[in-house]
Amino acid sequence: MEKRIFGIILTILGIVGLIMAANDFINTGGNARDVKTIAVYGILGAVFFFAGIGLIRSTKDVKGRGEEVS
C-alpha cells in the first residue's frame, strides 16, 4: 500500500512539473524563453510521471494480511 501511495505522489509531482513547463513555454514572450528552465521542468516532470505510473501499475492490491487480490 505504501508503494502505491508513493506512486500517486510521484505521478502528481510529474503532472505539476509538466504543467509548469507548459506554462513557462506558453507565457514567455518574444525571444526571452528560458530553455533551461523549460527543459528541467519538462524532463523531471516526465521522469516523475512515468516512474509514478510504473510504480502504481507494478504494485499488487493486497486485501488483508498477505492475501493478494486477483
pLDDT at 66: 59
pTM (whole model) above 0.85 = no
Q: Find out whether 8 and 52 touch, Cβ atoms under 8 Å.
A: yes
Q: Residue 38: what residue type?
A: I
Q: Give backbone dihedrals phi and psi of 68, rounded to 5 degrees, phi first.
A: -90, 145
For 30, the grid coordinates are 518574444
What is residue 1's predicted lDDT score, i.e. its pLDDT? 72
pLDDT digits (tens, 9 = 90+) for 18-54: 999 999 888 876 666 788 889 999 999 999 999 999 9
- Residue 57 to residues 12, 28, 41, 54, 67: CA-CA distances in angstroms? 15, 36, 24, 5, 18
